[in-house]
Structure 1
Amino acid sequence: MKLPRSEQETIVIFDVEVGKWHIDTTYPTHIRKYAELLGEIEEKTEDRLAGWIDEQYSSSFSVKKRRKLTDEQRKEYGERLKRSRAL
């Protein structure tokens, strides 16, 4: 059963006592992304993934402001991408 977009979420918690990150997500993109990284999986279904990040992965989470490009910058980056694909 697919969850409505308004109910999809990802919760990331760092447990100081355990020293690991816990992830609980119902967002399909994150389910696919974190499925390989979790060591101890508590729940894995088509619509939900919950568990602890494996110790072999170093992980941190950050929030940053999105970069706003001007039309000139967008055009310049587009041309640069075309040139790199032509190689």
Structure 2
Amino acid sequence: MALARNEQETIVIFDVEVGNWHIDTTYPPHIRKYAEQMGEIEEQTEDRLSGWVSDDYSSSFMVKKRRKLSEEEKKKLADRLKEARLS
């Protein structure tokens, strides 16, 4: 049974002793995203994924400020994309 949207979450912890990232998520897009990158999986169901990121993957997690585009910048990017699709 799927969790209510307001109960879905992703917890990412870096364990210094292990030197690796631990991910515990109940957010469906993150379950799909991280399933193939997990090494040691502690729990995997339709509604939850919990485990350690595999040593085969380099991983870092960051937060950055979203870029705010003006209407003119949006139009320029849209025009550039349109040109690229035509060529």
User: TM-score w.r.t. structure 1 length?
Assistant: 0.97
Instruction: Could you tell me which runs of 5 or more consecutive residues in structure 2 were left unpaired when the two chains were aligned.
Output: none
- Residues 1-87 of structure 1 mapped to structure 2, 5 A cutoff: 1-87=1-87
C-alpha separation in 2, matches of 1:84 and 1:47: 39
Alpha-carbon distance, 1:4 to partner: 1.0
**Residue identity in the other structure for 2:18:** V
Unpaired runs of at least 5, structure 1 = none
**Seq. identity, %:** 70
Aligned length: 87
| CA deviation after TM superposition for structure 1 residue 56, in Å | 1.1
- Runs of 4+ aligned structure 1 residues displaced above 4 Å come to none
Q: CA deviation at 1:67?
A: 0.3
TM-fit CA distance, 1:18: 0.5
Please report the TM-score for the alignment, with normalisation by the length of structure 2. Answer: 0.97
Return the letter of the residue paired with 1:74.
K
TM-aligned CA deviation for residue 30 of structure 1: 0.4
Q: CA RMSD in A?
A: 0.5
